[in-house]
Amino acid sequence: MTENILELKDITKRFSGVEVLHEVSFSLRAGEVHALLGENGAGKSTLVKVMTGVHQPDKGEIYLDGERVSFADTRESRQVGIAAIYQELSLFPDLDVAENIFIGRQPTTTGGRIDWRKLYADAEKLLLSLGVHLDLKHKARSLSIAQQQMVEIARAFSINARILIMDEPTSSLTLNEVADLFRLVRRLRDEGTAIVFISHRLEELFELADRVTIMRDGSYVDTRLLKDVTRDDLIRLMVGRTITDLFPKEDVKAGEVMLKVENLTHTGTFRDVSFELRKGEILGMAGLVGAGRTNVARAIFGVEPATGGRIQIEGQEVEVTSSQQAIKLGLAYVPEDRQLHGLIPAMPITSNISLPILFKYAQRGWLQDKVELRAAYNAALQMEVRANNMWQLARELSGGNQQKIVLSKWLSTKPRILILDEPTRGIDVGTKAAVHGLMSKLAAEGMAILMISSELPEILGMSDRVIVMREGHVTGHFSRAEATQEKIISAATQTVTLRSEQ
Amino acid sequence: MQNSTSATPPVRFSLSNLLWTLVRYREAGISIFILLLVFVVTLRAPSFLTADNFNDILLNISILTIVALAQTMVIITHGIDLSVSSMIGLVAMMVAFVFKQNPEMPVIFAVLLGMALGSVLGMFNGLIITRGNVPPIIATLGTLSIYRGLVFFYSQGTWINSFELPKSFKMLSKGTPLGLPNMVIIAIFVALVVYYFLNHTRTGRDIYAVGTNPDAAPFAGIRKERIIFLVYVLSGLLAGLAAVLWASRFESAQTNTGSGFELQTVAASVVGGVSISGGVGTVPGVLLGALLLGIIQNSLTLIRISPFWQLAAQGLLILIAVISDKWILNRVERTNK
């Protein structure tokens, strides 16, 4: 019974030089639900994709029933009985529900013709057994997110897998739907299926899983029996790293209120968000990915204006409806995804830096190249950007240097309020420390900084105060002294929320 | 996991519902449009509604239909093949040349040779796109010029004229042993095969899957690169077949044979409801799209409207088609969420 059906040994995986998995080991037995736990970016989803052949490990071995195997793609892993629900939705919008379930392995007649009648009959039987009511002929495009999630689940179940991997299958389901799903998972487990289960809701793990493997920063931490651990143990294992001078935060006495947000609401994404940000202060905004933090930032910066609530800047009530207006009010926003929103990869460093305040360098409609170049050069120098020259294209730089360019660009606008969204995601430790040093210096000079981060050490190390968001609501508010990793995780993942509406 | 039943809204008759149905089901929309057009043109030019004239229209759109079906498969994968016209030009020249040298060769060899040559050209497109990671529009824009250049290189700028080609070859497209001209029969046959392929084989469905969500294909175990390579080979193969029919019908191969034809094939596909953003398109829709373009061309000539208006009408239809595609997408996503 304790035979391992699947075993991963010392798996290492790099993406363009960055190590995302470092010698991770993992074992799975028939008839167990094995949870994978870790913070965002700990490498869980990558590990799953190594198990199914979406990614191939750079180092390490995979054993199935004691035999060494390797999967070139998901077709091969499927053939040996591994099915997966991935975190990102992977449906085909223009195909209907039934075909989405069976795509790539539709039942065929001996002549190779797709047996549509059998396909629809099988799909109907499957959905019935899952307790899902969906029109089989509806295009996936027209389904709600929860319905799409259920089609994904149905697809994974239809494989009759020996190993079923579920990466956050419950993230968009209601409580009833989750209960139904768990019933099915238990039934499969009792029939001998091995199940890998990923969820950020700790309660779910205690309810469903037998063992848990904890990962941190792409490394294996520990494997425990769930009946032997407490919730606090898990949190400690998940985040427990020592915080050193990665976070050179100076103590600054907070000044007057620079930004005040009251009951800010954007229908469908966040609701009744209120907080204050003072001069010289770094306010950390914690929460899981998708909690609505970025949407709040975008609302304040006027990219997606709020539908309700009030924003005050330096005591003046304002209605921000465009980013141009926000810049003039002294705001700057460094977005989360620097490739997508922060940089123009095909433009040189100079143009990238001067872009938001190009109007300052123009005279009678003509751009003053020299003035622009000098200003950009000074900004880049201040940020210690490493590049061959100012005409190098942004896309040729490393991730850390790209992040520095994005920061230089916004600092050149001389903002009084700076919003940083995941300022150090995906950059190396050295650059990380440099960015943190700069943040500390800017705050000391009187800038008010709102920092959105999913990395708890960063939140704890850099913030004067912390607010926590969960599912579009503010669920926690801590001073630097009060804030602990446990409290923040607890606020970010608690299942019971008090809703102001209804 | 209840609560997901989608109720069908009660159907009430109203003008906007009717309009929606016509836009939603492109085949219905085009059919009505074609009927209206036929009615109006017949009033102006009674000679339009004769068997002879319709025979003429069918002859004219046979080649367009074959290549538009190839184009359709490519567009469904979110690609485009601009090089079809040059493939037609090159293959027509080569096959005609071979026939000039060997007039006794059986005609079926010409057909097979054309398809083989076309496939090789298509493979070249497929390799550039999948191996070289070049966007299809750029890759085929490149080969559009390269293949046309090869026509000049191969022919040294000369034409192959009617008298140099054997009668058997000329009759390949025009003979009527089965009642209809061979060319029309071949087009119908191709349409049936493509219809079966796209709707009833796994590979055919994979073509739709790759087009509608390329990123999800690896999760579903679909080998995206192979599918994309395949549609360009098929496009070449059908362009090769079309080239042979072209040379046979017009009894010549010229350096500019097929020039500009790529845009007509895209037009027929798009008007027929194939979405340029991939994942959507049906064979009946494309057949109607080609028919509509053929009727417009024919009728505008009959009622003596300048060829300039033919182009403008074609352009207008494309715009209407694309805008209504967008409209459908928005409405489908809005109503069901």
Q: By three-state DSSP, how is residue A246 classified?
A: coil
> Does A377 share its domain with A287?
no
Q: Tell whether B2 lies on the interface with A, counting CB pairs under 8 A.
A: yes
Q: What whole-number distance in Å separates Cα of residue B203 and Cα of residue B191?
A: 17
Residues A164 and A253 in one domain: no
Instruction: Count CB-CB contacts under 10 A for residue B200.
Output: 18
Rounded to whole angstroms, the Cα distance separating A140 from B209 reads 12
In a 13 Å sphere around the CA of A249, the CA atoms on its Cβ side amount to 22
| Other CB atoms within 10 A of residue A225 CB | 10
Q: Which of A373, A379, A440 is nearest to A409 (CA)?
A: A379
Best mutation target, A45, A141, A177, to test chain B (most B CBs within 10 A) = A141
**Quick check: A139 and A148 in contact, CB under 8 A?**
no
Question: Which residues of chain B make contact with A112, given a CB cutoff of 8 A?
Answer: 201-202
B:121-140 residues touching chain A, CB 8 A cutoff: none
Q: Which phi and psi angles does B80 have, rounded to 5°?
A: -160, 145
Contact A134 B221 (CB under 8 A): no
Q: Give contacts of A150 with chain B, Cβ < 8 Å.
A: 1, 4
The CA distance from B127 to the nearest CA of chain A, in Å, is 21
pTM: 0.72
- Distance CA(A35)–CA(B318), nearest Å, equals 53
What are B186-243's pLDDT values in tens digits?
Answer: 999 999 999 999 999 999 999 999 999 998 888 888 889 999 999 999 999 999 999 9
pLDDT tens-digit series, residues A178-192: 888 888 889 889 988
Domain regions of chain B by residue span: 51-259
| A229 & A247 share domain | no
Q: What is the pLDDT of residue B283?
A: 95
Q: Establish if A322 touches chain B: CB-CB under 8 angstroms.
A: no
- The domain in which residue A476 lies consists of 243-330+416-502
- ipTM, two decimals, is 0.81
Q: What tokens appear for A299 in the block?
A: 């609302």
Which residues in chain B (210-229) have CB-CB distances under 8 A to chain A? 211-213, 215-216, 218-223
Counting the structural domains of chain A, the total is 3
Percent of chain A with pLDDT over 90: 31
Domain boundary (A414, A446, A466) is at A414
A268 and A356 housed in the same domain: no
Place of tokens 């001209």: B181
What CATH number has the domain bearing residue A218? 3.40.50.300
Q: Tell whether A405 and A260 lie within a shared domain.
A: no
The span from the CA of A4 to the CA of A392, in Å, is 52
**Of the residues A385, A414, A443, which one is the last residue of a structural domain?**
A414
- The mean of the pLDDT values for chain B is 87
Sheet holding A163-167, edge to edge: A67-69, A59-64, A4-15, A18-29, A219-225, A211-216, A33-37, A194-198, A163-167, A82-85
Beta-carbon contacts of A55 under 8 Å, excluding residues fewer than 6 positions away, are A13, A46, A49
Do A92 and A159 lie in one domain? The reply is yes
Task: Judge if A363 and A300 occupy the same domain.
Answer: no
Sign of the four-CA dihedral A349, A352, A353, A358: positive
Handedness of CA B314, B315, B319, B320 (dihedral sign): negative
Residues A456, A391, single domain; the answer is no
Where a domain ends, among A414, A435, A458?
A414
Are A444 and A455 a contacting pair, CB within 8 Å? no
E strands present in A314-361:
316-318, 331-334
User: Is residue A105 domain-shared with residue A197, that is, in the same domain?
Assistant: yes
Which of A:71-90 have CB within 8 Å of B? 73-75, 78, 84, 86, 88-90
Residues of A in contact with B208 (CB under 8 A): 92, 94-95
Q: Do A255 and A395 sit in the same domain of this protein?
A: no
Flag the least confident range among A220-229, A263-272, B228-237, B326-335.
Answer: B326-335
Q: What's the pLDDT tens digit per position in B115-128?
A: 999 999 999 999 99
Coil vs helix vs strand at A163: strand
Residues A111 and A248 grouped into a single domain: no
Contact call for B222 and A103, based on CB within 8 A: yes
**Residues of chain A positioned with their CB less than 8 A from the CB of B337:** 142, 144
Q: Are A13 and A19 in contact (CB under 8 A)?
A: yes
Same domain flag for A45 and A12: yes
Cβ–Cβ contact B14 with A under 8 A: no
Query: Is residue A368 very low, low, confident or very high in pLDDT (cuts 50, 70, 90)?
Result: confident
Looking at residue A494, its amino acid is Q
Torsion sign across C-alpha atoms B217, B218, B222, B226: positive
